[in-house]
Amino acid sequence: MSDPAVFVFVENGQPRAFADRWGGVFLFRELIWGPQALETWATQFSPVEQEQLGEFGQPIDAGVVVDFDQRTMLWSGQYEWLRLRRVFDAYMKMLVEAWPGYQLSYCPLGINYGPVTGFQCATEVDDQWGRPVRYIEAAGGGDEEDEPFVGDEFDVGDAFEDDIPEDLQAWITIIDESNAVAHRRMYQLSHDIFRSPDQIIDQLMTLPDSTIPAEAAVAEGIWIDRSKKQVGIWGEEKLRMKLGEMQGHWTGWEIVWADRGYDQHCEQAGPAGQPLTDQQALAKILPVMLSTKSFSMQNILGAIGGGLKRSALRATGCLLIVICFPLVIFGVVSGQWKAVGISVLITVAIVAIAFKYLEYRFKRSMRRSMP
């Protein structure tokens, strides 16, 4: 239970590496303040020897490599908001302003390290990186017997009333030879969409009809134009890695990556849709980027103390009432209020000591269980 990150700074050809088990939580926030501020922040963490970098796994899922000599910066991190293309693009624009003169590269599959090759963005796509295999699984979230996903059940009009939706959707548009447009939605684009052009179009048409979703609810999309033999696809950077595989299977089709994402998809679909504004996109990440909070064991225990402790106090209060109620009844019947008062005070003291002891034991066990 942690979100580790590795921070590497290369100067005069010599790398210096640091690591923190919670560094990945706010890595994107620290990047926005530029190279010098990032170095100051990262060097407070535990140093890592160069030969130990391989122990973090290949590739490094969350981390940053700053080369002061070549003026390059590689970074990687898995954040839910990265799946919303317009939010990601707005963030990258801010990074460019914060890192003038640097060549910036986001590594969606992580950062590879080798003693000879050095640090590079990983390029090998794991075929099992979380996508459902078949379209029916992506549409229903399970087996073929499950009810297909009906996108209209998601209230896209309220998508930005709170946070980014937990279940972002995939938007599919199919344009037939007569230019009739049909929309479908699923949880994610499935593997068979990239590999099975002969049957997948007709199979997708069997899913429930849908409408154009709001951009706030869509992480990725694809349009298939049967008359033009063209397929357009867009989404998070990790999805772009699937283009080569799709081009190998969709022979005779033009496969294009839609750099403008949702807007470009709407142009193919007809109506304008409900695009995000830059202000809405930035509103989702600015509060966290401008905060000064850190993520640590103390914060976790503080959250526990603020939530779980309140519930425990209420339960303890109820327990005291149950225990002391018979004593009060005894005082009413016997009139020995002094003895009842002393008994109540002793009971409260014992329960309070027991509560503080259990709280101490719980926090200590939590500290030991955290890696």
Give the pLDDT confidence of 235-278 residue by residue, as tens digits.
988 888 888 888 889 999 999 999 999 999 999 887 778 888 88
Asked if 162 and 287 count as a contact pair (C-beta separation under 8 A), the reply is no
Asked if 66 and 35 count as a contact pair (C-beta separation under 8 A), the reply is yes
User: For the chain, percent helix, then strand, then coil, each to nearest 5?
Assistant: 45, 20, 35
Helical spans, DSSP H, in 220-336: 237-240, 243-249, 261-269, 278-283, 286-289, 297-334
Asked if 181 and 267 count as a contact pair (C-beta separation under 8 A), the reply is no
Give the pLDDT confidence of 195-233 residue by residue, as tens digits.
878 789 999 999 999 999 999 899 999 999 999 999 999
For the chain, the residue count is: 371
Distance CA 172, CA 183 (A): 6
pLDDT for residue 365: 61
Residue 35 in this model has a pLDDT that exceeds 50: yes
pLDDT for residue 310: 66
Residue 135 in this model has a pLDDT that exceeds 70: yes
Mean pLDDT of the chain: 79
Indicate the pLDDT class of residue 285, thresholds 50, 70 and 90.
Answer: confident
